[in-house]
Amino acid sequence: MSIQIINKESQAYGAFNGGEIVENKPIGFPREEGPTKPYSSLFYWANAIAKVDSTIGLHPHEGFEIMSFVLKGTIRHYDTQLKDWKELNEGDAQIIRAGNGISHAEHMAQDARMFQIWLDPNINKTIQQPASYDDYKARAVPTSTQGDVEIFHYAGDKGIMHLDSTQISIQKWILNGTHLIEDQSAIHSIYVLTENITINGKNVSTDDFVIIEDESANLSGQGELFVISSAKELEYETYGEIIQRRMR
């Protein structure tokens, strides 16, 4: 499979509160426009930016693992388990294991930016578990250096986050030189946070989404990347697969 590069203009689009919060979605919901549908255990991925202070009101979730990564500014989170507002700042992360049901609300301060990413665990199992929540401060996220890359480990090997989803690695990379992705046993999903980076000699731009499967990739340049590596095959049928099968 060749390396896929999906630019921002081709991704799905969403908005809340009349455009107060806007989103480009490298992985949209199954019925949304956009070239990339759920795959592996990745169900949804949105890059949300607040134009003004704005609140997404209380709404329910079940089964999924819903993660937020604060890229800029401040967000606040409320859910029906905590029954309190919790503040998250740049570099912080949170996870809601929605289990058998939870409702939450989010407030984004003006100019705040975050990723919201949904993982698709074995929902037949997670839907029977009570909901749970954790947040993680930036200062607690483990870091390491591999050659020309500084790595922030959110989940997977060395990662701080506890997930029900398996075979998942979630990292932020700061690249200053070159780095080779050789592991072809996983799917590597990359959101380009800053420019001045090439992949196999091809320029990638800010907000490009890159999927690497069955191929090595040589990254070169200076900038930041958000990288999720996930399984090619899972031992269960995901909700994304069920929905896409029903839509055929």
Res 63: pLDDT: 94
Residue 247 pLDDT > 60: yes
214: containing domain: 4-247
Q: What CATH number is attached to the domain comprising 237?
A: 2.60.120.10
* Res. 24: pLDDT tops 90: yes
What domain count does the chain have? 1
Task: Give the pLDDT score at 156.
Answer: 95
Q: What pLDDT score does 1 carry?
A: 56
* 25-74 per-position pLDDT tens digit: 999 998 888 889 999 999 999 999 999 999 999 999 999 999 999 999 99
Mean pLDDT of 164-173: 96
If one compares 88 and 195, the residue with the highest pLDDT of the two is 88
Our separate counts of H helices and E strands in the chain read 2, 20
pLDDT > 90? residue 99: yes
> Do the beta carbons of residue 159 and residue 209 sit within 8 Å?
no
Helix (H) or strand (E) holding 136, with range, is strand 132-136
